[in-house]
Structure 1
């Protein structure tokens, strides 16, 4: 297993460090970053887009040739990190001795940190992994997100216990948004605005998914029951008639047995 340590800083500093650590080729244009990786240790690419409102989006599609423990310097107490896996899986822990949780395909996770404990990402060798990270800085940034969303972000994620970690249920709507994000081909300001709108909608979905979970679970159960009922309604009438006749015959037979006794 190889251990790699990354410090936090500006997006430029992070990608410069990634380029050195992974021996990649970095290209930055229009405030977007693309790191191409083709070494004996790692192959793939990592892309990032920083927005002026304190949000940074990172997309990674990578494969390691060895087991990797990637240690990332502890997040600031005002940072929120959303993660979404689209291929393979990732293991996460706070510190070496912390509990390991697994982020599977089509599952999202949320991580915050307010203590001096590094965030660790664990990768298995020869397993392709694709994932997206959205980092939101809720303080000391020029926020163009309206204040109500910032307030909801703080209330939903930063009023938790220190080093909060949560893994949500499968959310295919978020998956669709990431597909839309990766499909954008427009360059310059137009493409930047389109990407920003999608990232904002994903953040809003994460707030929604992490609010009133008991109510949402109840609604999900009801939706599942309604879906089953609707499927039953699609059964041809002759099958339903046959089922009713079969049940009726069983009831009559049971009554006859009781009378005979």
Structure 2
């Protein structure tokens, strides 16, 4: 198991740190970043595009040769991180001892943090992983996203518990959007605009998925079912204990009768 720590900062600082930590080769052109990785520890690529409207898109396709715990310094309280897995799986936790949730293929996840707790990503050795991250800064002074979208983002994701993470349902529509994103070959401003529109549409889809009444109902049913299962487990344990006590008492009484006789 190897532990790697990344400090928060600008996209330039993050990629410079990734280049040093993973001994990669970094190329940046037209505000796009490409990090090629080919060391004994990690192989693959990490690409990123910071858009001017407070959104940063990161695509990673990597394989580690050892179990990795990647600790990322807590980000801004006004930031929302969307994650989508296209190959393999990733485990996430708040802090080293926090609960681990698993993001599997074609599932999306949402992470926000209002406390100074590092976000931990856990990778299994020799397991290829491909995933996309979309980071949205809702208080960016240069943010040009529609105000109604910013308002919906805050209401949907930032009014949660202090450290919030949620793994959504399997969403093939979002998978299709990422396929479209990766298929764009246009360069310069045209390609950038096309990619930005796709990323913003994914953000809108994430908002809809987390506010849809049917989704809320399904989550409520799932929570209710889990509560009932836990109650049944408690009841089964109680009955088992009660039956054991009854049998034990009968055995003791029988032994006492035999001794008296």
Alignment pair present for 1:195 and 2:195: yes
Whole-angstrom distance in 2 between the partners of 1:180 and 1:215: 26
Structure 1 residue matching 2:211: 3-state secondary structure: coil
Structure 1 residue matching 2:160: 3-state secondary structure: coil
In structure 2, do the counterparts of structure 1 residues 22 and 204 end up closer, same or farther at CA, with 3 Å as the change threshold? same
Whole-angstrom distance in 2 between the partners of 1:184 and 1:94: 34
User: Which string of whole-angstrom CA distances, capped at 9 and with x for unpartnered residues, describes residues 204-240 of structure 1?
Assistant: 000000003545656xxxxxxxxxxxxxxxxxxxxxx
Structure 1 residue matching 2:83: 3-state secondary structure: strand
Whole-angstrom distance in 1 between the partners of 2:9 and 2:45: 20
Measured after TM superposition, the shift of residue 144 of structure 1 is: 1.5
Residue 222 of structure 2 is matched in structure 1 by: none
Measured after TM superposition, the shift of residue 142 of structure 1 is: 1.2
Alignment pair present for 1:48 and 2:55: no
Q: How does the TM-score come out when normalised to structure 2?
A: 0.82
In structure 2, do the counterparts of structure 1 residues 92 and 213 end up closer, same or farther at CA, with 3 Å as the change threshold? farther
Q: How many residues align?
A: 219
Residue 2 of structure 2 is matched in structure 1 by: 2
In structure 2, do the counterparts of structure 1 residues 215 and 74 end up closer, same or farther at CA, with 3 Å as the change threshold? closer
Higher mean displacement: 208-217 or 141-150: 208-217
Structure 2 residue matching 1:210: 3-state secondary structure: helix
Equivalence map 1:6-85=2 (5 Å): 6-85=6-85
Equivalence map 1:106-125=2 (5 Å): 106-125=106-125
The unaligned stretches of length 5 or more in structure 2 are: 219-261
Over aligned residue pairs, what C-alpha RMSD do you find?
Answer: 1.3
User: Which string of whole-angstrom CA distances, capped at 9 and with x for unpartnered residues, describes residues 134-170 of structure 1?
Assistant: 0000003312111000000000000000110000000
The unaligned stretches of length 5 or more in structure 1 are: 219-261
Whole-angstrom distance in 2 between the partners of 1:119 and 1:78: 15
Residue 234 of structure 1 is matched in structure 2 by: none
Whole-angstrom distance in 1 between the partners of 2:114 and 2:26: 31
Structure 2 residue matching 1:164: 3-state secondary structure: strand
4+ aligned runs moved over 6 Å, structure 1: none
In structure 2, do the counterparts of structure 1 residues 116 and 12 end up closer, same or farther at CA, with 3 Å as the change threshold? same
User: Which string of whole-angstrom CA distances, capped at 9 and with x for unpartnered residues, describes residues 65-87 of structure 1?
Assistant: 00000000012110000000000
